[in-house]
Structure 1
Amino acid sequence: MGESESTATNPSSSNKSTNFINVFFRLLAYDTITWFFNLIIHTFFRDVQTRGSFNIPQEGPIIFVIAPHNNQFVDGLVVMTKVKEISSRRISFLIAKKSYNKRIIGDAAKLCGAIPVERAQDLLKPAIGEIMVDSNDDKIIIGKETNFTKQCQSKGLIGLPDNLGNTKVSEIIDDTKLILKRPFTSSNKETQDKINTVLKNGTKFKTASQFDNHVVFQNVFNHLNQGGVLGIFPEATSHDRLQFIPLKSGVAIFALGAVSQQIEKFQNGEINQITPVRVVPIGLSYFHPHKFRSRVVMEFGKPIIVDQNLAQEYNENSKDSINKLMKHIEFKLKEVTMNCNDYETLMVLQAARRLYTSGNRKNIPLPMVIEMNRRLIKGYEQYKDQPDVKELKNSVLEYNKQLMRLNLHDHQVESLNRSTRIHNIWMFSKRFFTFILFMSLSLPGIILFGPIFIIAKRISKIKAKEALANSTVKIKAKDVISSWKILVAMVLAPMLYSFWSIIGTIIIIKFKILGKYQPSYIFIFLYFYCWAILTTYASLRIGEIGVDYYKSLTPLFLSILSINQDNFQIEKLKNTRNELRIKVNEFCDKYGPGIFKDYDEFYKKYNKIDDEDGDEEEYEIISNETVSNQNKLNRQISGSSDSDPENVSNIPIMATSDSDHGDEHSPIRSNEPEEAEEQGKFNKETSEVVTNNNNDDDDSVQVRLRKSMKDKQFDE
């Protein structure tokens, strides 16, 4: 009897042990690769800051919905590493099966527990015959030597060659005629012209059958209902636009479907309670995302709680429930991101922000800069048709052109010709010597790692051209550049370090530099390998300081060489700047109170950071560069009135030295979108079924930013 019981229980105990070991190694693999990615992110970016991390739930299922998707694979790495660092939650991302099956990227995705998603557009295959559009209706496709009834499927996809786009089939009339759900279109004028040309003259085409996503959905439901964390980019593809591309509804289906399945299991007695799914919006704001040693700010919005009531409505009317939730998600995403109609307007508003904050620029942390940009964009969009606003925009545009002609940045204007020529010569000589000193110290690392910089830059440009040719949403495809720079460096850096280590080992042994003492070849090789890595990293940090000094040389040099006529132009430029500063302040004072309830608290305290006021409010910055300075910057702040004090009290303020702060604040990219998406308006009905209150439109971030950094000091 005892033996039979033992044999009966052993398999169960063996299964538990096996499951425990599997979970342990999965977590170990995830944490190891996250640690590795964290090193990469902190090497590529000079500064990574987060804001609103208290909005991350410490338990229960979460869907992180992330936008804009401006940096391809890098976006996922930034979010995954920072969320793990801040909250110890482990994210599983949805990834296209096409990428999941690739080497390196796919292998890393598997170790991180990514869930592959097979997309219909990845299944497109060439079909027989040619197609053209009907001259009277661009939804009607006419075939030549085609067999639509066998080649195509209703609700399936039909695509054009050269990645000119694809669309769904609405109805198949016969073998040579079908109706599209939507015509072939592109927001890119050049791409649209190509589409019109090939459809007019006749073109080859591709088809794909209707794709069943139920398997993917079920995998996601299981993951969430086990308390897992999911990361989704609702735009579904990376891009380099200033606004969102249309969001996919998958995130709403995942959240509602997961809770709906819980309801079914609860009714069947399989579970004891229903756990809501929390959808947390994340906004990514890059400062020159494709450039090495740039900056990024990641902002977490308030969670949207998808509970039992929403799931029941989803069961009754899935389409309406999905639409309502997607509107709310888009609304919340816009609260934590910047969306501007065009690049010219963005540049004007960033110049206006610099003019408004000229006196305190070095004291203002990056997350607050992002919020200021966001508010200026909102104010401009609301009052852009006013005559005084149009006049101000034109004046700022002309001021920017003057800066470009003089090869200056706005933050350098105030320092022009302030002192005597002798003083300027002394300052220039001192800073130039310091620049030469630091760049000389960084020279060994430049020589060691220089080939990788050159190769990575060239390959990333080639890949950007390929991505642009294969996309209908990208403008200059700058969103793929940083990803390819990192991928190239990951592959070539070990090879290059090995090469230098072999050369060093050969020199040591051949010339007997160590004399009679001859350690093993492996020891010498490893010594040189570690030396090469440390030298490169030290050179990187030292070189950064040298570059900062280099950026300060231009205004001093102009002041030294300026003649009377140049002095007149410089003084005129400074007067122009001062006039614009006054106009920008008048614009904010005139229109700000009508848009933002906290105008006095935010804008005035924003521009008077050094004022004494003991009633500080909550604000959080977490910077990878200043963890070591936490004791030095140990200032504590109290919870805000509209937040949970248990979540946000006693948060340390940390920030970084920002020598070129005024110049580097150019989020997103230097490109120009072809069209602007309409501002999504939140459906009032959503507030009745989604927990988060809709009144956060104007002041969802108001309290967290007030007066927070008034004592904050940046090292120069």
Structure 2
Amino acid sequence: MSTTKLPSTSHTGQDFQSALAYEFVKNSFKVITTIFFREIRTSGVHQVPTDKPCIFIVAPHANQFVDPGMVMITSPVQFSPLMAASQFKRHIIGTAARLLNAIPVIRPQDLASAGAGSVRLSSDRLDILEGIDTKFKEQVHPRDLISINKTLKVQVEEVMSDSRARLATPVTEADASVLRKDEGVKYKVVPHVNQHDLFDKVHDSLGQSRSIVIFPEGGSHDRPELLPLKVGFALMALGAMAKYPDLDLKIVPVGLNYFHPHRFRSRAVVSYGAPISIDRKLVEDFKHGGDEKREATSKLLNLGREGLKSVTVNAPDYDALLVIQAARRLYRPANRKLRLEQVVELNRRFLIGWTQFKDDPRVIELARKIRAYNQTLKYFGLRDHQVEKTSTATLNAAKTLLIRIFELALLASIGLPATILNSPIILLAIYISQIKQKEALANSSVKIAARDVLATWKILVAIVFAPLLFLFYSVVLTYVVNIRYPNLNVGYLILITLAAWIIQPIVYFSILRLTENGIDIYKSLGPVFLAVSDPDAAKGLRIMREKLSEAITSFVDEAGPQALEDFDPTRFEREATNDDSSSTSSKSNSGFGLLSGANWLDDKWLFQAIGGDSDESD
């Protein structure tokens, strides 16, 4: 393989325009995420090299078009994302992609077309497809895929005639039963796409010290575990270093840890892992081709997978995830509330322990008790962090309950009218996102409920229709003013319309913060009501939690050193004493500009009684 010198990276006017466009999209997305997410924190950002090109491998891909933006607003370096070429046709997404200098990826599934006739498996061979009224010679080529359904796809090795094709590998007996129908089955032809042009663009971009972002799982999904990684990022990294021998390239794993990715006003942690350096021997093996190339690529792929495991939480299923999260909440690593990034880290470490000890009789028994505890919480309509708040004396609890009901009524009088006025956007966002959810689920073989598309479409609907709705209300207001004061000239009326249009989003965001507090107060009523209505049940629940917490803490402290070499039961206690909101390794959404800081909108001081009841660290 030939090698090339690193290209010149001199700055030009085009580079300046590109940087301005990138900052525009970045800051626009900061505003969007400030509204959609209640809090965003980061960890490990200080590890990202700012003087070297990087390939950011990001997982899990749990929030469709939101995910690249989450990396963009937290990464200290500018990058070009890899994006499906089909998305460039979308108005908003495509415009943003072009402003970010995104690199288009032609996906074979986007080029799929319905095949003529129907196909069936040969009666005597598992690697021969027979066609009924098909046009294989015209529609199918070697290396193309014949797609029967979401899970069954076969690759064509040779087109023998218009009605006969040989497959690259024989189908399994299970798949054969689907294809052995006398009348045949309908199919789609998924063409093979030569990605040489894509790899050349990526190599040259990296050679010019530009970073890229790639989601190695492929498409977005809503599974609790990482999907198998595709080999593309490893081929790109080794190919770029083979083409440019002086290139010092790093692979940076990025974990996107959403607490409720599809919910409005949820929380997220973006975790950056240690950069992965690429051994020059792997590059040399890659250049030799054949088995050596495959082995080098496989080694780098495994390094990337291990890097992503260090910054993500990967549960085998949702039941295990619920047990792990509950055990983490009940464990006592510190005498104060953990930061979001510490919660993510503790979840990850608990998962490692679960993987090693899940068959241990003690863990099986603890898991049974945790499930029973979760069911008890569900029965009482409480969350774990609310159990301790049921210890308030009955008289004091009754007083607190009355105060909170008054506060809730006060906030409802403000928030309810705003919610009604904005209900067209809310209802439309729910309606369209659910339609897109059904479409995504129908076209995917890996999604569970296709929740990964919900946040994206809620945001897109709001971006398009919120300004239109605000403009409508502004025109209505201007019309009313014109009726009341008919002598006002057109200039004043236009000014009133513009002013109302600009002010509405600010007022709405202010009311949103108040409404958010109202929701927190509403959630806090449960433990107070239980303390008033059934203090004996509240006491029993606290005792149940205390015993379970002691059992979990005792087991973790005993088994922890066997699961983790760096296990330290005082780790989070020591980190808590050094907690500093200005730390370079973590920052909240308040660091993202005027709107996101919004200390002038922080009305928690009005309602001190709710302190801490807004926990969503699950």
Q: Please, what TM-score do these two structures have when normalized by structure 2?
A: 0.89
Distance in 2 between the 1:485 and 1:306 partners? 40
User: Are residue 402 (structure 1) and residue 390 (structure 2) matched?
Assistant: no
Distance change in 2, residues 1:592/1:27 (3 Å):
same
Distance in 1 between the 2:126 and 2:590 partners? 55
Identify which of 163, 166, 175 aligns with 2:153: 166
8 Å CA contact 1:275–1:307 kept in 2: the answer is no
Q: Which residue of 2 aligns with 1:105?
A: 93
Cα offset, 1:248, TM superposition: 0.9
Unaligned runs of 5+ in 1: 1-15, 186-191, 264-273, 632-656, 667-716
User: Are residue 20 (structure 1) and residue 12 (structure 2) matched?
Assistant: yes
Deviations 1:238-263 (A, max 9, x none): 00001112211110111111111113
Tell me how many residue pairs correspond in the alignment: 589
Cα offset, 1:115, TM superposition: 0.6
Distance in 1 between the 2:328 and 2:111 partners? 47
Name the stretch that deviates more: 447-456 or 333-342.
447-456
8 Å CA contact 1:240–1:477 kept in 2: the answer is yes
Q: Which residue of 2 aligns with 1:91?
A: 79
Q: Which residue of 1 aligns with 2:468?
A: 495
Q: Which residue of 2 aligns with 1:471?
A: 444
* DSSP 3-state at the match of 1:520: helix
Distance change in 2, residues 1:422/1:114 (3 Å):
same
* DSSP 3-state at the match of 1:282: strand
* DSSP 3-state at the match of 1:552: helix
User: Are residue 521 (structure 1) and residue 493 (structure 2) matched?
Assistant: yes
Q: Which residue of 1 aligns with 2:240?
A: 258
Q: Which residue of 2 aligns with 1:367?
A: 341
One-letter code of the match for 1:41? T
Q: Which residue of 1 aligns with 2:53?
A: 61
Q: Which residue of 1 aligns with 2:351?
A: 377
Deviations 1:219-247 (A, max 9, x none): 11111100101000001100000111221
Distance in 2 between the 1:520 and 1:165 partners? 65
Matches within 5 A, 1:333-372: 333-357=308-332, 360=335, 363-372=337-346
* DSSP 3-state at the match of 2:12: helix
Distance in 1 between the 2:576 and 2:437 partners? 45
Q: Which residue of 1 aligns with 2:555?
A: 587
User: Are residue 541 (structure 1) and residue 513 (structure 2) matched?
Assistant: yes
* DSSP 3-state at the match of 1:204: coil
8 Å CA contact 1:444–1:536 kept in 2: the answer is no
Cα offset, 1:196, TM superposition: 6.0
Cα offset, 1:529, TM superposition: 0.7
Q: Which residue of 1 aligns with 2:167?
A: 179
Q: Which residue of 2 aligns with 1:436?
A: 409
Cα offset, 1:63, TM superposition: 0.6
User: Are residue 387 (structure 1) and residue 361 (structure 2) matched?
Assistant: yes
Q: Which residue of 1 aligns with 2:226?
A: 244
User: Are residue 624 (structure 1) and residue 589 (structure 2) matched?
Assistant: yes
Unaligned runs of 5+ in 2: 1-7, 598-609
Distance change in 2, residues 1:222/1:628 (3 Å):
closer
Q: Which residue of 2 aligns with 1:290?
A: 262
Distance change in 2, residues 1:548/1:176 (3 Å):
same
Identify which of 599, 612, 615 aligns with 1:659: 612
Q: Which residue of 2 aligns with 1:459?
A: 432
Distance change in 2, residues 1:228/1:619 (3 Å):
closer
User: Are residue 70 (structure 1) and residue 62 (structure 2) matched?
Assistant: yes
Identify which of 479, 487, 490 aligns with 1:506: 479
Cα offset, 1:129, TM superposition: 2.4
8 Å CA contact 1:279–1:304 kept in 2: the answer is yes
Distance in 2 between the 1:582 and 1:204 partners? 59
8 Å CA contact 1:80–1:90 kept in 2: the answer is yes
* DSSP 3-state at the match of 1:243: coil
Deviations 1:12-51 (A, max 9, x none): xxxx9x9833222222222112211111111111111110
One-letter code of the match for 2:389? S
One-letter code of the match for 1:321? A
**Identity across matched positions, percent:** 36
Deviations 1:577-624 (A, max 9, x none): 111111101220121011222222xx334257777x99xxx9821112
Deviations 1:67-117 (A, max 9, x none): 00000000011111221xxx2x21111111111222221111111110101
Distance in 2 between the 1:184 and 1:225 partners? 44
Distance change in 2, residues 1:130/1:184 (3 Å):
farther
Distance in 2 between the 1:517 and 1:119 partners? 56
Distance in 1 between the 2:126 and 2:156 partners? 13
Matches within 5 A, 1:546-695: 546-562=518-534, 567-600=535-568, 603-606=569-572, 620-625=585-590, 659-660=612-613, 662=615, 664-666=616-618
Distance in 1 between the 2:453 and 2:12 partners? 39
* DSSP 3-state at the match of 1:414: helix
Distance change in 2, residues 1:517/1:176 (3 Å):
closer
Distance change in 2, residues 1:75/1:532 (3 Å):
same
Distance in 2 between the 1:496 and 1:597 partners? 57
Q: Which residue of 2 aligns with 1:202?
A: 184
One-letter code of the match for 1:583? A
Q: Which residue of 1 aligns with 2:194?
A: 212
Cα offset, 1:211, TM superposition: 1.6
8 Å CA contact 2:386–2:613 kept in 1: the answer is no
Q: Which residue of 2 aligns with 1:650?
A: none
8 Å CA contact 1:360–1:607 kept in 2: the answer is yes
* DSSP 3-state at the match of 2:326: helix
8 Å CA contact 1:166–1:184 kept in 2: the answer is no
One-letter code of the match for 1:290? H
Q: Please, what TM-score do these two structures have when normalized by structure 1?
A: 0.77
Deviations 1:499-538 (A, max 9, x none): 000001111111119x879852221111111221111111
One-letter code of the match for 1:496? L
User: Are residue 222 (structure 1) and residue 204 (structure 2) matched?
Assistant: yes
Cα offset, 1:658, TM superposition: 8.3
One-letter code of the match for 2:329? R
